[in-house]
A and B are shown apart, each in its own frame.
Chain A
Amino acid sequence: DAKTTQPPSMDCAEGRAANLPCNHSTISGNEYVYWYRQIHSQGPQYIIHGLKNNETNEMASLIITEDRKSSTLILPHATLRDTAVYYCIVRVLAPSGSRLTFGEGTQLTVNP
């Protein structure tokens, strides 16, 4: 699976949009971009994933650049409960790609 690069930490004001970047310059054509988050000592929570088109669900939006070398996770109206470590993962959906390779992630702190 391709390696990802994320900033180690970010801050965001409550009620504002949180934009979390991720670089994955070596991504292959058949690799998806996945985002998970982990609130302290809990299991990671799935947020969203995409291949090349922008995606939106009830939790967040995922913007993938046209060359697919980077992406941005957007939490439109961050709340204190969004404080967590956010992981960007790229993986292929194949029998050999069942493992998720987690990096260090971004610690997002939402401030009141």
Chain B
Amino acid sequence: KAGVTQTPRYLIKTRGQQVTLSCSPISGHRSVSWYQQTPGQGLQFLFEYFSETQRNKGNFPGRFSGRQFSNSRSEMNVSTLELGDSALYLCASSFRSSGGSGTQYFGPGTRLLVL
């Protein structure tokens, strides 16, 4: 079974621009979570999507948003980029039931550099 894929793998943007990152989950997984990893803050939860609805949200400003499509693929968007948004953005997928989210499997990440 193919793993979680993320595109693009590397991205360079300038301050004020916006960026869209894409994540394709493992086949059969309907939950997609996004995380940001920076040297200063470590790995932090951004949000989770399940059945095209945001189910959980971390403590990030409204410039960070996401969506999920009917095929479970997900995108996250960051508007008005700031230098501090430079980070590794990770996507994780899991099988989710009424009892909650199962084991999360991570993709390779998208490394974003904001200049």
Contacts and interface: CB of A to CB of B under 8 A. Distances in A.
A103 B45 CA distance: 12
B103 interface: yes
Nearest to A105: B42
Interface size class of B (residues with CB under 8 A): 20 to 34
Name the residue in A45, A98, A103 with the highest tally of chain B Cβ atoms < 10 Å from its Cβ: A98
A43 B106 contact: yes
Given A41-B88, A44-B106, A102 B100 contact: no
A92 B100 contact: yes
A27 B111 CA distance: 34
A78 B39 CA distance: 27
A35 B92 CA distance: 15
A50 B56 CA distance: 24
A17 to B, nearest CB: 24
B54 to A, nearest CB: 11
B100 A98 contact: yes
Given A92-B100, A93-B102, A98 B111 contact: no
Contact of B31 (A43, A45, A98): A98
Label chain A's interface by main secondary structure: loop
B45 A100 contact: yes
A96 to B, nearest CB: 7
Contact of A98 (B42, B56, B106, B107): B56
B51 to A, nearest CB: 12
Given A43-B108, A45-B106, 4 more contacts: A41-B111, A98-B101, A99-B48, A104-B42
Q: 8 tightest A-B contacts by CB?
A: A43-B106, A98-B101, A102-B43, A99-B45, A94-B100, A93-B100, A98-B48, A44-B106
Interface of B: 4, 31, 33, 35, 42-45, 48, 55-56, 58, 88, 90, 92, 94, 96, 98-109, 111
22 contacts: A34-B103, A36-B106, A41-B88, A41-B109, A43-B4, A43-B90, A43-B107, A44-B43, A44-B90, A46-B104, A46-B106, A87-B43, A93-B102, A95-B56, A95-B99, A95-B100, A97-B101, A98-B101, A99-B45, A100-B45, A101-B45, A102-B44
